[in-house]
Amino acid sequence: MEAVERQVGSKRQIAALFDVHESFIYKLLRQQRERGDIAPLPHGGGAQAKLSHEQRQVLPELIAAMPDATLDELRVQLKKTTRVEISLSTICRGLQALGLSRKKSLSGPRKPIPTSGSRSKWSNRL
């Protein structure tokens, strides 16, 4: 704004100098005239969170009760306890916000990986 006040050049030239669009210069001038400053405007809002802070705090309790629950199972239990229906991605974001991981533990022994010898036996049966 100092460049405009000093009349360093036209508003178009000043915009080019700072690599901004000319309309931005006009926006800043209007903001300074209306508000008295050119500080950034506050955030305009956005979508409301589906889970409140209190409802998000139920997630650790559900995970403690059902450590190997899937996201869908957590969603069903959360709906029963808080009466809020949310998507799987909202459950996932809620867990991430709490620093909780959804990596499941192995439920049983790993399946053996076939070796080249056992593979040839299998192909002979087909």
For residue 17, being part of any structural domain is answered with yes
CA dihedral sign of residues 119, 120, 125, 126? positive
Q: How many other CB atoms are found less than 10 A from the CB of residue 20?
A: 13
- The answer on 87 and 59 residing in a single domain is yes
For residue 20, being part of any structural domain is answered with yes
- CB of 60 closer than 8 Å to CB of 98: yes
Contacts of 55 by beta carbon, 8 Å cutoff, 6+ apart: 78, 82, 84
The pLDDT confidence band at residue 75, using thresholds 50, 70 and 90, is very high
What is the C-alpha separation between 87 and 81, in angstroms, rounded? 16
Q: Where are the beta strands (DSSP E) in 13-69?
A: none
For residue 69, being part of any structural domain is answered with yes
Of all residues in the chain, the percent with pLDDT exceeding 70 is: 80
For residue 108, being part of any structural domain is answered with no
State which residues form the domain around 77.
Answer: 53-97
For residue 122, being part of any structural domain is answered with no
The single residue listed with the structure tokens 């008295």 is 36
For residue 125, being part of any structural domain is answered with no
The pLDDT confidence band at residue 80, using thresholds 50, 70 and 90, is very high
What is the C-alpha separation between 49 and 90, in angstroms, rounded? 9
For residue 107, being part of any structural domain is answered with no
Query: Residue 123 pLDDT > 90, yes or no?
Result: no
For residue 112, being part of any structural domain is answered with no
Domain count, the chain: 2
